[in-house]
Structure 1
Amino acid sequence: MAKQGNPYYQGPVSDHFDGVRFFNPGGEAPKGFRDLLRWQFGGGKIAWPKSHALTALPTKPDTMIGGAGLRVTMVGHATLLIQVAGLNILTDPVWSTRASPVSFAGPKRATEAGIRFDDLPPIDVVLVTHNHYDHLDIATLRALHARFKPRIITPLGNDAIIDPALPDAEITTMDWGDGINVIDGVALYCEPCHHWSARGSFDRSMALWSAFILTTPAGKIYHIGDTGFHDAINYRAAAEKYGPFRLANLPIGAYEPRWFMKAQHQNPEEAVEGLIACGAEYAVGHHWGTFRLTNEGMHDPARALETALDEKGIARDRFRALSPGDVFEVPAP
Structure 2
Amino acid sequence: MRLDHAEGFPEAGTPALYWLGQAGFWIDTGTHRLLIDPYLSDSLARKYAGTAHPHLRMMPPPVTMEALPRPDLVLVTHAHTDHMDPDTLGPLHRRFPDLPFVVPAAVEDVARQRIGADAPLRKVVAGETVSPLPGLDLTVFPAAHETRERDDQGRDRFLGYGLTTGALRLYHSGDSVPFDALDAQVQAFAPQIALLPVNGRDPARRAAGIPGNFTLDEALHLARECAFLVPHHFDMFAFNTIDPARIDSAAARSRRPRIIRPAAGGHLRIGP
TM-score bin (small chain): 0.7 to 0.9
Q: How many Å separate the matches in 2 of 1:154 and 1:101?
A: 25
Query: Residue 138 of structure 2 corresponds to which residue in structure 1?
Result: 188
- Letter of the structure 2 residue corresponding to residue 271 of structure 1: A
**Structure 2: 5+ residue stretches without partners:** none
2:94 maps to a residue whose letter is A
For 1:97 and 1:184, locate their aligned partners in 2 and report how far apart those are by CA, in whole Å.
35
Q: Structure 2 vs 1, CA of residues 139 and 215 (structure 1 numbering), >3 Å: closer, same or farther?
A: same
Superposed CA RMSD in Å reads 3.0
Matches of 2:211 and 2:49, distance apart in 1? 29
1:179, CA displacement in angstroms?
A: 1.7
Aligned to 2:131, what secondary structure does the other structure show?
strand
In 2, are the aligned partners of 1:123 and 1:148 still within 8 Å (CA)? no
Tell me, in whole angstroms, the C-alpha distance in 2 between the residues paired with 1:266 and 1:220: 21
Deviation at 1:218, TM superposition (A): 3.7
Distance in 2, Cα, partners of 1:308 & 1:286:
14
Q: How does 1:224-243 map to 2 (within 5 A)?
A: 224-230=173-179, 233-240=181-188, 242-243=189-190
Distance of aligned partners of 1:136 and 1:96 in 2 relative to their CA distance in 1, 3 Å threshold:
same
1:169 is aligned, of 119, 139, 144, to 119
Structure 1 counterpart of 2:171: 222
- Aligned residue-pair number: 257
Q: Which amino acid aligns with 1:210?
A: L
1:81 is matched with 26
70 and 256 in structure 1: CA distance in 2 versus 1, 3 angstrom threshold: farther
Q: 2:45 touches 2:57 (CA, 8 Å); kept in 1?
A: no
**TM-score, length basis structure 1:** 0.68
Match of 2:195 in 1: 249
Is 1:325 matched with 2:271?
no
Match of 1:118 in 2: 66
Does the C-alpha gap of structure 1 residues 309 and 60 become closer, same or farther in structure 2, counting only changes over 3 Å?
closer
1:101–1:133: 8 Å Cα contact kept in structure 2?
A: no
Q: Given the superposition, is the C-alpha separation of residues 263 and 229 from structure 1 closer, same or farther in structure 2, using an over 3 Å criterion?
A: farther
From 296, 304, 314, the counterpart of 2:255: 314
Structure with the greater alpha carbon radius of gyration = 1
Q: Where in structure 1 are there 5+ consecutive unaligned residues?
A: 1-55, 198-203
Normalising by structure 2, what TM-score?
A: 0.83
Pick from 246, 264, 270 the counterpart of residue 304 of structure 1: 246
Q: What is the DSSP-based 3-state SS (H/G/I as helix, E as strand, rest coil) of the residue aligned with 2:250?
A: helix
The answer to whether the 8 Å contact 2:79/2:107 transfers is yes
Provide the C-alpha distance between the structure 2 equivalents of 1:118 and 1:99, rounded to a whole number of angstroms.
20
Find the counterpart in structure 2 of residue 266 from structure 1.
214
Matches within 5 A, 1:92-107: 92-99=37-44, 102=47, 104=49, 106-107=54-55
Percent identity of equivalent pairs = 22
Q: Deviations over 1:181-210 (max 9, x none)?
A: 12222111211122268xxxxxx8646111
Distance change (3 Å), C-alpha of 1:128 and 1:259: closer
Which one is further off, 250-259 or 156-165?
250-259
The answer to whether the Cα contact below 8 Å between 2:227 and 2:256 also exists between their aligned partners in 1 is: no
2:228 corresponds to:
282
